[in-house]
């Protein structure tokens, strides 16, 4: 794979000449849209357990996240390509509008399946918010200064990441607000924010765009859908269907055909492709994409599992779980801002993904030791380093991809970088939650069988403490089944029964999460190894440094005359040289000088 060094300079030379104030004005609109998408990612994480319990589908709650990720992943490269052709602003406004409609629909959900469907609508809008915001930054800011201006985005991302779990936990912890179930406000709160974002973006985002006449790769989008959806469905349902069942094999076959068709279509479309394959011939883009996939798998796998651990195993309320996640989000903020500032000052970015993936791997390895009796503060310390690892990867990888391509490809390249991370996130969420509940189904009954004959458990059976009705119902179910096989559709009973009766459930669930973290460790280790192959491309002059002005025609002619005179002087000097024996050099004698005159 060849690495282009001329393209980044071309991208930088073609940038619009905007003042700092003009850039900040544009950033205001972009940050509103990014706040909307970032808030939704974290506000759902801390409330999903309450939502799933209310809708009767804790084990199926992965669909709520997976459906959102499927649609946002599929449309992300489409947003990038269409915005390269028709301009960024109309598609940014379209993304906000679709996201708002999906948020309103989510509030009317009466089942986990309906909520997953409406979350898919949300994803259709969310796919454009992050990718287009980052692409617009690439349109208006020189490469080396992008790290500085992206700090504003990271402040918004960090703020929403901190507020999201707390707000989501607060809403989920309320029975009703204004006559509406508390958890439904998790989605309804997006509506006023989205309306404000539409107003600000319309007023502030003004970009010049020259339309390019290109074909739109709709067949590539169809093939991408055909490849992703069946593979994600089997990742979610394979444990129930059986990995060798007819349904699983059918999904594998359709997904494989879709992948082959997608690559054939993209190769045939060439420059018109949804994701031009030539981009991956650039070493920076190829390596950054692979690292993004692995990081996405580990990131979303960890983010999906941690809130469940805090609420189910540690017994935290949704609000408390949101507060417990603050170290993770603060770690992301610190890592992103630190890397951004230092990249802007030094112009180097290669070592940040290496450090980041190392922190992610080490933190995930630490998570796999976390059990039912592990103090919460130890888990929170690991969250800080896990968040820093994510922060060290978010910005540098996007910056590396943008700097490796020409300006005309910034939209599709940025969306491709976001797309690869979301591919990993979608697969990670589906696979890891599938592993989690599959292992929990096996580990929880085993934990109860092991605890059944212990003195503490027998004492709890004879004289249970807590809610009498919940204890009685649980003990009857335990005795009638000869073991434990329920609790994955509604886990709220764990907080109502005797803690001694609940402890085996917590142990079984925690051991299932350890399997998830153990598997994710090796995926992140692969990201760490691949990150060493990331090359470094110069980010251009330091912010504030003036570029050398282009020479005028007179200066060019003067330089040419000087070169001719210099060449004549060199020729004269060459004629004046005295031939000496090899390896010996001495000044000419007086007789030789007189002969030369």
Check if the beta carbon of residue 172 is closer than 8 Å to that of residue 185. Answer: no
- Tallying the residues shown for the chain, one arrives at 597
The answer to whether position 131 is within a domain reads yes
Domain boundary among 273, 297, 314: 273
Give 459-515 as a 3 state SS string.
HHHHCCCCCHHHHHHHHHHHHHHCCCCCCCCCCHHHHCCCHHHHHHHHHHHHHHHHH
User: Higher-confidence residue: 562 or 376?
Assistant: 376
Q: Are residues 259 and 297 in the same domain?
A: no
Give the confidence band of 152 by pLDDT, cuts at 50, 70, 90. Answer: low
Q: Are residues 348 and 404 in the same domain?
A: yes
Per-residue pLDDT, 498: 79
Read off the DSSP letter of residue 363. Answer: H
19/544 Cα distance (integer angstroms): 12
Q: Is pTM beyond 0.85 here?
A: no
| Distant-in-sequence, close-in-space partners of 229: CB < 8 Å, separation ≥ 6 | 70, 255
Q: What is the mean pLDDT of the chain?
A: 75
Q: Are residues 268 and 344 in the same domain?
A: no
62/484 Cα distance (integer angstroms): 23
Whose structure tokens read 């004289």?
463
The answer to whether position 111 is within a domain reads yes
3-state secondary structure of 592: helix
Q: Are residues 415 and 340 in the same domain?
A: yes
Q: Are residues 121 and 246 in the same domain?
A: no
98/124 Cα distance (integer angstroms): 7
342/192 Cα distance (integer angstroms): 36
Q: What is the dihedral of CA 388, 392, 394, 400, to 10 degrees?
A: 180
Q: Are residues 412 and 524 in the same domain?
A: yes
Check if the beta carbon of residue 143 is closer than 8 Å to that of residue 403. Answer: yes
- 328 alpha-carbon distance from chain centroid: 14
- Exposure string for 289-301, b = 16+ CB within 10 A, e = fewer: bbbbbbbbbbbbb
Whose structure tokens read 């794979």?
1
Domain boundary among 470, 503, 531: 531
Check if the beta carbon of residue 132 is closer than 8 Å to that of residue 88. Answer: yes
Q: What is the mean pLDDT of residues 500-526?
A: 87
Per-residue pLDDT, 67: 80
Q: What is the mean pLDDT of residues 216-220?
A: 80
576/2 Cα distance (integer angstroms): 47
The answer to whether position 545 is within a domain reads no
Check if the beta carbon of residue 27 is closer than 8 Å to that of residue 35. Answer: no
By CB neighbour count within 10 A (0-12 exposed, 13-18 middle, 19+ buried), where does 380 fall?
A: middle
User: Higher-confidence residue: 425 or 587?
Assistant: 425
Residue 533 above 80 pLDDT? yes
142/265 Cα distance (integer angstroms): 34
Summarised one tens digit per residue, pLDDT across range 230-239 is: 877 776 667 6
The answer to whether position 547 is within a domain reads no
Give the confidence band of 554 by pLDDT, cuts at 50, 70, 90. Answer: very low
The answer to whether position 557 is within a domain reads no
Pick the range with the lowest mean pLDDT from 55-64, 177-186, 250-259, 506-515: 55-64
- Which CATH number is 88's domain given? 1.20.1250.20
Q: What is the mean pLDDT of residues 69-73?
A: 78
Per-residue pLDDT, 414: 74
Q: What is the mean pLDDT of residues 22-34?
A: 77
Q: Are residues 348 and 255 in the same domain?
A: no
Per-residue pLDDT, 360: 93
For the ranges 343-357, 462-476, 571-585, the maximum mean pLDDT occurs at: 343-357
Residue 366 above 60 pLDDT? yes
Cα–Cα separations (whole angstroms), residue 232 to 227, 301, 424: 9, 14, 11
Q: Are residues 309 and 386 in the same domain?
A: yes
Summarised one tens digit per residue, pLDDT across range 442-468 is: 888 888 888 888 888 888 787 777 777
327/346 Cα distance (integer angstroms): 28
Check if the beta carbon of residue 46 is closer than 8 Å to that of residue 167. Answer: no
Q: Are residues 388 and 436 in the same domain?
A: yes
SS3 content of the chain, % helix, strand, coil (to 5): 80, 0, 20
User: Higher-confidence residue: 265 or 148?
Assistant: 265
Q: What DSSP element (H or E) covers 594?
A: helix 590-596
Instruction: Give the residue among 147, 76, 567, 79 at the shortest CA–CA distance from 391.
Output: 147
Per DSSP (E only), the strands in 171-210 are 176-177, 180-181
Check if the beta carbon of residue 402 is closer than 8 Å to that of residue 145. Answer: no
Whose structure tokens read 């391509």?
405
Q: Are residues 291 and 266 in the same domain?
A: no
* 319's tokens: 């609000």
Q: Are residues 263 and 331 in the same domain?
A: no
3-state secondary structure of 2: strand
Per-residue pLDDT, 162: 60
- Exposure string for 441-462, b = 16+ CB within 10 A, e = fewer: bebbbebbeebeeeeebeebbe
The answer to whether position 41 is within a domain reads yes
Range of the domain at 52: 6-209+274-443+511-531
The answer to whether position 483 is within a domain reads no
Number of domains in the chain: 2
Per-residue pLDDT, 450: 83
Residue 141 above 80 pLDDT? no
Q: Are residues 259 and 178 in the same domain?
A: no
* 66's tokens: 């997976």
- 100 alpha-carbon distance from chain centroid: 21
Cα–Cα separations (whole angstroms), residue 19 to 89, 155, 322, 528: 20, 21, 39, 39
Instruction: Give the residue among 375, 235, 289 at the shortest CA–CA distance from 77.
Output: 289
Domain boundary among 531, 562, 591: 531
The answer to whether position 260 is within a domain reads yes
CA dihedral (510, 364, 334, 403) positive or negative: negative
Q: What is the CA radius of gyration of the chain?
A: 30
């Amino acid at each position: 794979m060849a690495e282009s060094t001329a393209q980044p300079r071309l991208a930088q030379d073609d940038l619009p000449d905007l003042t700092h104030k003009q850039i900040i004005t544009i950033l205001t609109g972009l940050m509103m849209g990014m706040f909307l998408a970032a808030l939704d990612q974290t506000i759902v994480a801390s409330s999903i357990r309450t939502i799933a319990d209310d809708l009767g589908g804790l084990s199926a709650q992965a669909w709520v996240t997976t459906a959102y990720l499927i649609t946002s992943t599929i449309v992300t490269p489409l947003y990038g390509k269409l915005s390269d052709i028709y301009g960024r602003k109309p598609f940014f406004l379209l993304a906000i509008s679709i996201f708002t409609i999906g948020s309103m629909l989510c509030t009317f959900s009466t089942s986990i399946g309906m909520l997953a469907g409406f979350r898919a609508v949300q994803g259709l809008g969310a796919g454009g918010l992050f990718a287009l915001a980052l692409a617009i930054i690439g349109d208006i800011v020189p490469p080396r200064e992008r790290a500085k201006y992206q700090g504003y985005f990271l402040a918004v991302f960090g703020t929403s990441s901190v507020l999201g779990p707390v707000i989501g936990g607060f809403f989920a912890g309320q029975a009703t607000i204004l006559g509406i179930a508390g958890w439904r406000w998790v989605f309804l709160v997006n509506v006023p924010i989205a309306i404000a974002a539409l107003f600000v973006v319309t007023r502030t985002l003004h970009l010049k765009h020259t339309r390019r006449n290109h074909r739109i790769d709709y067949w590539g989008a169809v093939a991408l859908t055909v490849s992703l959806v069946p593979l994600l469905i089997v990742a979610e349902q394979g444990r129930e269907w059986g990995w060798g069942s007819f349904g699983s094999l059918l999904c594998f076959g359709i997904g494989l055909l879709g992948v082959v068709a997608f690559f054939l279509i993209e190769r045939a479309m060439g420059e018109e492709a949804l994701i031009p394959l030539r981009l991956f011939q650039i070493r920076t883009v190829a390596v950054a994409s692979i690292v993004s996939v692995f990081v996405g798998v580990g990131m979303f796998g960890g983010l999906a599992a941690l809130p469940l651990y805090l609420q189910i195993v540690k017994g935290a309320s949704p609000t408390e779980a949101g507060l417990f996640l603050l170290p993770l989000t603060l770690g992301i903020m610190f890592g992103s801002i630190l890397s951004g500032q230092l990249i802007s000052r030094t112009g180097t970015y290669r070592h940040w993904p290496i450090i980041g993936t190392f922190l992610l791997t080490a933190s995930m390895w630490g998570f796999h030791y976390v059990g039912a009796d592990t103090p919460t503060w130890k888990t929170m310390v690991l969250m800080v380093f896990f968040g820093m690892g994510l922060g060290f990867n978010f910005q540098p990888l996007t910056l590396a991809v943008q700097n490796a391509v020409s300006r005309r490809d910034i939209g599709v390249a940025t969306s491709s970088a976001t797309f690869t991370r979301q591919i990993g996130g979608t697969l990670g969420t589906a696979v890891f939650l599938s592993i989690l509940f599959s292992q929990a189904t096996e580990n929880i009954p085993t934990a109860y069988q092991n605890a059944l004959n212990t003195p503490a458990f027998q004492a709890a059976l004879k004289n249970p403490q807590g809610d009498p009705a919940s204890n009685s119902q649980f003990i009857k179910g335990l005795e009638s089944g000869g073991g434990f096989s329920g609790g994955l559709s509604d886990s709220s009973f764990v907080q109502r029964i005797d803690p001694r009766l609940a402890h085996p459930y917590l142990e079984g669930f925690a051991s299932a999460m350890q399997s998830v973290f153990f598997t994710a460790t090796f995926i992140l280790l692969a990201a760490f190894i691949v990150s060493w192959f990331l090359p470094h491309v110069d980010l251009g002059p330091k912010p504030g440094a003036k570029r050398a002005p282009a020479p005028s025609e007179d200066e060019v002619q003067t330089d040419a005359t000087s070169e001719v005179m210099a060449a004549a002087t060199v020729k004269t000097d060459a004629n004046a040289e005295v031939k000496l024996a090899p390896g010996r050099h001495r000044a000419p004698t007086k007789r030789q000088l007189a002969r030369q005159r």
